[in-house]
Structure 1
Amino acid sequence: MRPFHYTRPESLNHASQLTASSNAVPLAGGTNLVDLMKLQVEVPRKLVDLNRIGMETIAEAPDGGLTIGALASNTATAVHARVRSDYPLLSRAILSGATQQLRNKATTGGNLCQRTRCSYFTNIDQPCNKRQPGSGCGALGGVARLHAILGTSAQCIATYPGDMAVALAALDARVEITGHGSHRSVPVRAFHLLPGDRPERDNVLEAGEIITAVTLPPPVKGRQIYRKVRERSSYAFALVSVAAIVAMDSGRIARADLAFGGLAHKPWHDPRLADLLIGEQPSAALFDKAACLLLENARSHGENEFKIPLTRRTLAAVLAEATEIDL
């Protein structure tokens, strides 16, 4: 780990000013950032500790939804009574990730900003356009078992590793952002970026901007399911995950909000799936049609080809569970 300057601002405005400066990085729980600093993947000259600002509150929103402070721990969010009763999808997603010790420290804002666990990104002796633009992508033609099959580019095929944001995408949550004396609210579905020609950018945050909260809309009817397929039962990243909110009405699908993890550089949401499913009677043929639509532009990279049939089977299993039919 390289030397750095550490500061603890007392206000959000001060923190915004500090993080606007060159090579300054905000620090929340540190469960991802500190690891990357030890590997010298991240080498900030200044750490701006946000933990005195007071953004830990989880509270009811004026519209009946829920506001989760950016510094609320993953544990506090997962066990919160409103989350467990009205947004169980979010609770299940959080509890499927990491360990209890990490969830106790990891925060809402930090979780959203976590970086890929690609082995080429975390090894400074390997080429990585995300870590060093223009150096190449070692995963292309290399070890790519855990890598993306959707939304990739010639610059990067890394995946977003988190679970929480996948659930938030299905729930149509929003990220509240403050900086430069102004505030903006961004849908979670638009917060993370695909790699394109700038894989070093993970999300829409600009220098000096800080996540203050995540807002959930009022709860909706329907079954909420989070299914995570991984290589071992705990402390492993998703090969594919599906977050689903599905409601039925008179034997037909009335609501279908779906998001996917482990497939792309961001939590993957395809609004065409809802258009296809809503109003239809559930069936194996319909679920297969939805999978074909989801995967029509999927591209494998050698050893991750298995993700395509795995995604198809996982989506069908989740939809069958949600609609209570036998395949």
Structure 2
Amino acid sequence: MPSLLQRRTAPSSEGSPPADAIVHTEGLSKIYPDGTAAVDALDLSVRRGEVFALLGPNGAGKSTTVGMLTTGVVPTVGRAWVAGIDVADRPADARRNIGVVPQRNTLDRSLTVRENLVFHGRFFGMRTANAGREADIRLEQVALAHVAGKPVDGLSGGMTHRLMIARSILHRPQVLFLDEPTTGLDPQSRLALHEIVRGLRAAGQTIVLITHDMQEADQLADRVAIIDHGHLLALNTPETLKRSVDADTVVAVTADTGPPVLAALLSKQVPGVRDVHILNDSVLLTVHGDQAVLPAIAAAVADAGIGLRDVRVEEPSLETVFIRLTGKELRD
């Protein structure tokens, strides 16, 4: 089984990325003048054709990492390559191989849906006729052909996100960066966007997904990198990361006593407990085996004369992995 924590790799001897990596970083860091390290010695390799998720709370360094990979942020230390191109040495060449869907709406509101795509194609050097053909293909791909002639101001949030994806892949980039693509969308729009991502991956598109949504990363990503405070905490497939918890059940317990007291009690009285973490006013237990966990919790609390407020039971998740590594919840 691959190791949960990925150690820093030595820089390649010839100053180039590994052959199987379409995105690669070595010691990539961004340190601001006040000494804050937004990203600290990050080593990553993204394989061609995979969906690779950068998962972490707000302020973890995800957007700064993507900013460096997409030439918008200059690294302080380290190197990064996209499609074999050093992004710092040849930013213009790198941008031709990159598609970016930012968090905020950057569509031109003076243009129609289709015109936004054609203009993007022209910006990347495509002839008008070719840009028009690609625009029609992409609008069909994201189910927006029926609104091609309408102004972008009339689009819903989900349609706007789909149009930005269509725009980002119009010039056929080798790598697509999706920065929090489903933030603020309703459930139906989220599902539609997820299907588009799966379709792009099936067609061979490499996607770097930046998200703080654990379920989204679990459902869409081939591999997940968990980062916090600019540091890489873990990198592997979602299933391998969840198996690393080595627990069958995760239980969150809230009672009429302080979490430290409750944690000490449950760690002693509940059989099969592997880890105990305090999260705000609750205690999180990871339990191994098929013991009767809930009766044991209820009995332990009752015997101690403590009132039980709430008990939630679930399977190990990526949030469980994050809590195990950092002792805090992922959604900050």
TM-score, shorter chain, exceeding 0.5? no
Normalised by the length of structure 1, the TM-score is 0.26
Normalised by the length of structure 2, the TM-score is 0.25
Q: Which has the greater radius of gyration?
A: 2
The answer to which structure has the higher helix fraction is 2
